[in-house]
Amino acid sequence: MDQIRIGKFIAETRKSRSLTQGQLANTLSISDKTVSKWECGKGLPEVSLMLPLCEALGITVNDLLSGERVSPKEYQKKAEENMMDLVKENSENRKRMALSVISGVNAVIACCALIALAAYVALPMAVRILLIVLSILVMASGITAAIMLDIKAGYFECPHCKALFVPGMSEYVAGVHTFTRRRLTCPQCGKTGMCAHRISR
Ligand SMILES: [Zn+2]
């Protein structure tokens, strides 16, 4: 999925129909910020919005996902490519999720090992301090990597309007959470709630 290309295509098609971002957003009952985000290539429309969006723009979902008007001759081929892309995206999200857990666990192990070394092996004080600083750095980078991978793995689902979205880093970190849910504000309806983590759309 080429988000930049799809974004440009949405903008072009919208302008060719003399619609403003606000007018298009109104038709879909979403904020114009969401439309602007798509057009800048920062995120794809939620699946539930794809059909209404295509209807408003007079295009097909296949056109939308290809980022261009697909000719009847190429239609089947493009549809298959888009389908494979969606499947691939889901399996990449699964890999990211596993990687996120692994890097988090690695960071904890490395950190404990360094602290144990600093505490139990006879070393000059300066080396001990260095080891402790190093262990904190290892921990921090491991946790950052785990968080970034986790944010990228899939989507969060709004409990109110069922919209799927990817939260920003700061909101994600600040959100109260359990293993599968996190308290976030939905960009679609603006309500805050415990959002479930979903790997695929
Ligand atoms: Zn919502």
Domain spans of the chain, in order of start: 3-70, 77-152, 155-198
Could you tell me the distance, in angstroms and rounded to a whole number, from the CA of residue 107 to the centre of ligand 1? 34
Could you tell me the distance, in angstroms and rounded to a whole number, from the CA of residue 161 to the centre of ligand 1? 4
Could you tell me the distance, in angstroms and rounded to a whole number, from the CA of residue 18 to the centre of ligand 1? 29
Could you tell me the distance, in angstroms and rounded to a whole number, from the CA of residue 64 to the centre of ligand 1? 23
DSSP 106-140: HHHHHHHHHHHHHHHS---HHHHHHHHHHHHHHHH
Could you tell me the distance, in angstroms and rounded to a whole number, from the CA of residue 65 to the centre of ligand 1? 24
Could you tell me the distance, in angstroms and rounded to a whole number, from the CA of residue 193 to the centre of ligand 1? 9
Per-residue pLDDT of the chain (201 residues; tens, 9 = 90+): 788 999 999 999 999 999 999 999 999 999 889 999 999 998 888 888 899 999 999 999 999 999 999 988 888 888 888 888 877 777 777 777 777 778 778 888 888 888 888 788 777 888 888 888 888 888 888 888 888 777 777 788 899 888 888 888 788 878 788 777 889 988 888 889 999 888 766
Could you tell me the distance, in angstroms and rounded to a whole number, from the CA of residue 19 to the centre of ligand 1? 25
Beta strand 192-198 with 155-157 is: antiparallel
Could you tell me the distance, in angstroms and rounded to a whole number, from the CA of residue 157 to the centre of ligand 1? 8
> What's the pLDDT at 12?
96
Q: Count the Cβ atoms, other than its own, within 10 Å of residue 122.
A: 5
Could you tell me the distance, in angstroms and rounded to a whole number, from the CA of residue 42 to the centre of ligand 1? 19
Task: Please say whether the structural domain 3-70 has been given the CATH code 1.10.260.40.
Answer: yes
Task: Give the CA angle between residues 133, 134, 140 to the nearest 5°.
Answer: 90
- Please give the Cα distance from 132 to 164 (Å, whole number): 41
> What's the pLDDT at 35?
94
Could you tell me the distance, in angstroms and rounded to a whole number, from the CA of residue 158 to the centre of ligand 1? 5
Residue 104 is given by DSSP the state H
Task: Give the CA angle between residues 157, 5, 155 to the nearest 5°.
Answer: 10
| Strand partners of residue 152 | none
Note the helical H segments in the chain: 3-16, 21-28, 32-39, 47-57, 61-66, 75-120, 125-152, 169-174
Could you tell me the distance, in angstroms and rounded to a whole number, from the CA of residue 167 to the centre of ligand 1? 12
- Please give the Cα distance from 93 to 177 (Å, whole number): 20
Could you tell me the distance, in angstroms and rounded to a whole number, from the CA of residue 189 to the centre of ligand 1? 4
The answer to whether the predicted template modeling score (pTM) of the entire model surpasses 0.85 is no
End-to-end CA distance of the chain: 14
- Please give the Cα distance from 3 to 176 (Å, whole number): 30
Q: Are 160 and 189 in contact (CB under 8 A)?
A: yes
Could you tell me the distance, in angstroms and rounded to a whole number, from the CA of residue 170 to the centre of ligand 1? 19
Tokens, residue 119: 């505490």
